[in-house]
Amino acid sequence: MKILRVIASVDPKDGGPIEGLKLSSASLRTAGHETEVVTLDFPEADHTKGLPFKVHPQGRWMSRYGYTPRLTQWIRQHGKAFDAAVIHGLWNHASIGGWLGLKKIGLPYVVFTHGMMDPWFKAQYPLKHKAKQLFWTHLQGKVLRDATAVLFTSEEEMQLSRGVFRGHSYKERVVAYGTSVPPDEAKDQDAAFRKCVPNLGGRRFILFLSRIHEKKGCDLLVSAYGRLAAQNPDVDLVIAGPDQTGLMETLKQTANAAGIAERIHWPGMLQGAAKWGAFRSAEAFILPSHQENFGIVVAEALACGTPVLITNKVNIWREVEACRAGFVDDDTEQGVSRLLHRWFALKTDEQAEIRSSARKAFDRHFRIDAAARDLEQALIEASALNARR
């Protein structure tokens, strides 16, 4: 089967959806399926090069929404060479322009919403939600309506999405999601990570690794760590990830005011060996998000046997809690403080037990081969439906 993936960008700075696309495409290739990707990236962008599949960057006229007529034109011209397609994400022209092209040539497709229908956005940005409802009525909802299936990466995400927008029914489907087993080069990975944070030395640390963004709860983490740092003088905090909105400066000011600036390390975005070294070396991984449809970084931490401290707004929290792979609490400063306090209060043997449970949770729920099989089945059914028309 030849699969077309439509996504706004393959820039790794945009987070988990790109990583999931790369990993599932590799697993699908092993099963004999070929993947190509069409994006709104500019052709000269470095991140479109050296990927394990063909990328067709179309550029964009508008930086935020990403409008360009070239996306729809490209799909209309080349799309019939594919058996099925996947649209990744909502609220941008990759979704709308992709739909217009796919509908025109009759190519069946599925949609990954990637958490973009979570009610947190409605509560946080009520005026923006009203504008989105209009956009949903006239365009975005039709993308989901015409899809063979709308894919959610957990039962929690699917349930939360219901009723957020009015009009345009669609066919729901929950599919597995996950990541690959990390490369088995722990010593080299630790060295690569330590090179990125020279001031950390050999100190113990808690790791945050994700986009530095409001919805990730970074402010809660810095404030909560400030409460507990004095009582835990031998544990630092590493906050790794790209700063896309300028939030880092505010967080550093908070740290300075609390007198903990020297104990928080900011290595920027970590990739490859340095990323895996961070996960492996961390005492625990923390993601205090207000909204997270899956959280592929949580799965990556579990794959390294690293316990996770997450909020109940990370939609795989039930699996984490059931497997005793970490702790779960509210997305408030008090909740994040409790997460850290519970971890710091554990004895060494108790921490080791949770580490063992973390890897077992990954093997049971979050391996990429299961995710690829679920996506493969959804696309096979879509292609078969198209063949019967």
Q: What is the pLDDT of residues 333-346, one digit of tens each?
A: 999 999 999 999 99
Q: What is the pLDDT of residue 386?
A: 63
Q: What is the pLDDT of residue 18?
A: 85
CATH class of 2-179+368-388: alpha beta
**Tens digits of residue pLDDT in 226-252:** 999 999 999 999 999 999 889 999 999
CA distances from 267 to 113, 203, 264, 316, 385 (A): 30, 15, 10, 27, 48
Alpha-carbon gap, residue 93 to 135, rounded angstroms? 12
186-365 has which fold?
Answer: Rossmann fold (3.40.50)
Alpha-carbon gap, residue 62 to 183, rounded angstroms? 39
Mean pLDDT of the 113-128 span: 92
What amino acid is encoded at 289 in this protein?
A: S
Q: What is the pLDDT of residue 20?
A: 86
pTM as predicted = 0.86
Q: What is the pLDDT of residue 176?
A: 87
Contact 209, 279 (CB under 8 A): yes
In sequence order, the β-bridge partners of residue 149 are 110
**CA-atom Rg of the chain in angstroms:** 21
If residue 319 lies in a helix (H) or strand (E), which one and from where to where?
helix 317-322
What does DSSP assign to residue 138?
I
What does DSSP assign to residue 164?
S
For residue 228, give the nearest of 239, 215, 237, 216 by alpha carbon: 237
CATH 3.40.50.2000 residue ranges in the chain?
Answer: 2-179+368-388, 186-365
Q: What is the pLDDT of residue 184?
A: 86
Alpha-carbon gap, residue 369 to 138, rounded angstroms? 37
Mean pLDDT of the 185-209 span: 93
- Judged by phi (left if over 0) then psi (alpha if -120 to 50, else beta), residue 168 lies in left
Lookup: tokens for 46 = 């470095």
Q: Using CB atoms within 10 A of its CB, is residue 124 exposed (0-12), middle (13-18) or buried (19+)?
A: middle
For residue 113, give the nearest of 70, 152, 143 by alpha carbon: 152
Instruction: Give the residue with greater pLDDT, 223 vs 244.
Output: 223
In sequence order, the β-bridge partners of residue 207 are 238, 285
Confidence label for 370 from pLDDT (cuts 50, 70 and 90): confident
To the nearest 10°, the Cα dihedral for 183, 272, 58, 170?
Answer: 60
Contact 179, 300 (CB under 8 A): yes
Show the CA angle centred on residue 367, arms to residues 188 and 176, nearest 5°: 145
